[in-house]
Amino acid sequence: MSTASQADPVLVLEGVSASYGPYRALFDVSFSVPAGAVVALVGANGAGKSTVARVASGLVPASAGRVLLRGHDVTRRRAFEIARMGLAHVTEGRSVFGSLTVEENLTLAFRRALGHGGVADALARAYEVFPRLGERRGQLAGTLSGGEQRMLALSRVLVLRQDVLVVDELSLGLAPVVVDEVYEALGTVRSGGTALVLIEQHVNRAFTIADGVVVLHKGRVAYDGDVAGAAARLDELVLGGPPAAAP
């Protein structure tokens, strides 16, 4: 992706490897995300997409390599520090606190980032962008519909204007109409200047808004380039193409 844009990369992975206990899940993964750009991260099941996301946000430690966020080395930083430095990670599956209300979910993040005084304003902005959340502010987030939960997770990023948002399988299990809505929200986040790393099973969907594509195959980067190039060789890449030439 590095060739496609002249902007400074906001997120860089350099030769990242990662393991779950004895299992290696990532092998020497490198790519970068230019500020404000959208990178689609695709690959077969188990290719390591979620692991990339977890390493970037600090949930899983990198066993080798470096992760740079806005030029700062965050490889050894804890997840909460990375979050405060401007990387948001909306995880696979449920990504809100089911036992807290909508408003508490938002407050939790806002209070750390904006201080006590900023919370009310931030809440108002979130409800303004997503009125449905405002209507349900007192409801437990666990009782929201799947689409609403995604909105809630996105609204946090939107208001805090974080630099990078890594979204993992955002559209999984949603009805097509709801997927449209979620993607609309994603567009709003992006137009706020946040770069996106978009992990998607619906590859075509992701490609419609992506600026670049990274394909993972068995824990390695099999492709890193523009959308057209990826679209042309997608099946081969995803289903077991040869790994990209070693750097």
Partner 1 sequence: MTTLLDYAIPGVPFGCVFALMAVGLVLTYKASGVFNLAFGAQAFVSSLAFVSFVADGWPRWLAGLVAIVVLGPALGLVLDRVLFRRVRTASPLVKLVPALGLLIALPQVALIVAGSAPDIAPPSLFFDAQRVYLHVASVPISGLELSVTVATVAVVIALVAVFRFTPIGLEMRAVVESPRMTELAGVNAGLVSAFAWVLSSCLAGLAGVLLAPLYAQLDSQNYTVLLVWGIAAAVVARFASLPVALLGGIGLGIGQQVLAGYLPAGILATGLRPSLPFFVLLAFLPFARQRQVDDPLAGCDPPPTALVGEATGYRSANLLAPSGGDGAGHAVAGWHRALQARADRGAGVPSAGAHGVVDRLASRPTLVVAWAVGGLAVLSALTWVPNVWLVTMTQGIAFAVIFVSLTLLTGMSGQISLCQASFAGLGGFVAGQLADHFGTSVLVGMVLGGAVAAVLGVVVALPTLRLAGLPLALATLAFALLADNILFPNSWVGNGATGVTVPRPQLGPIGFNGSRSFFVLALVVLALVAALVRTVGQGRMGRLLAAMRGSELASVSTGIDVHRLRVVAFALSAGLAGVGGALYGSLERSLSPDAFNYQLSLVFLVVAAIVGLGSVSGAVVAGLVFTALQTEVATFPPRFSGLLPVVFGLATLSYTRHPEGIVDFLGGGVLRALGRRRQGAAGAGGGDGPGAGPGPADRSSARTAARSAVATGEVAVPEGGGRS
Ligand X SMILES: Nc1ncnc2c1ncn2[C@@H]1O[C@H](COP(=O)(O)OP(=O)(O)OP(=O)(O)O)[C@@H](O)[C@H]1O
Site residues, Mg ion (CB under 5 A): 50
Task: Write down the least CB distance from residue 67 to ligand X, Å.
Answer: 15
**C-beta separation of 129 from 187 below 8 A:** no
Task: Write down the least CB distance from residue 80 to partner 1, Å.
Answer: 4
Task: Write down the least CB distance from residue 219 to ligand X, Å.
Answer: 7
Please say whether the dihedral angle defined by the alpha carbons of residues 7, 109, 157 and 13, taken in this order, is positive or negative: positive
Q: Which residues bind partner 1 (CB under 8 A)?
A: 17, 19-25, 27-28, 46, 50, 54, 57-60, 63-64, 78-80, 83-84, 88-89, 91-95, 97-100, 104, 107-109, 111-113, 116, 142, 156, 218-220, 243, 246
Minimum CB distance to partner 1 smaller for 125 or for 218: 218
Select from ligand X, Mg ion, partner 1, none the partner in contact with residue 71, using the beta carbon and a kind-dependent cut-off of 5 to 8 Å: none
Minimum CB distance to ligand X smaller for 2 or for 19: 19
Q: Identify which range of 5-13, 39-47, 72-80, 101-109 contacts ligand X by CB under 6 A.
A: 39-47
Minimum CB distance to ligand X smaller for 50 or for 57: 50
Distance separating alpha carbons of residues 221 and 31, to the nearest angstrom = 8
Task: Write down the least CB distance from residue 4 to partner 1, Å.
Answer: 27
List residues near ligand X by CB under 6 A: 20, 23, 25, 43, 45-51
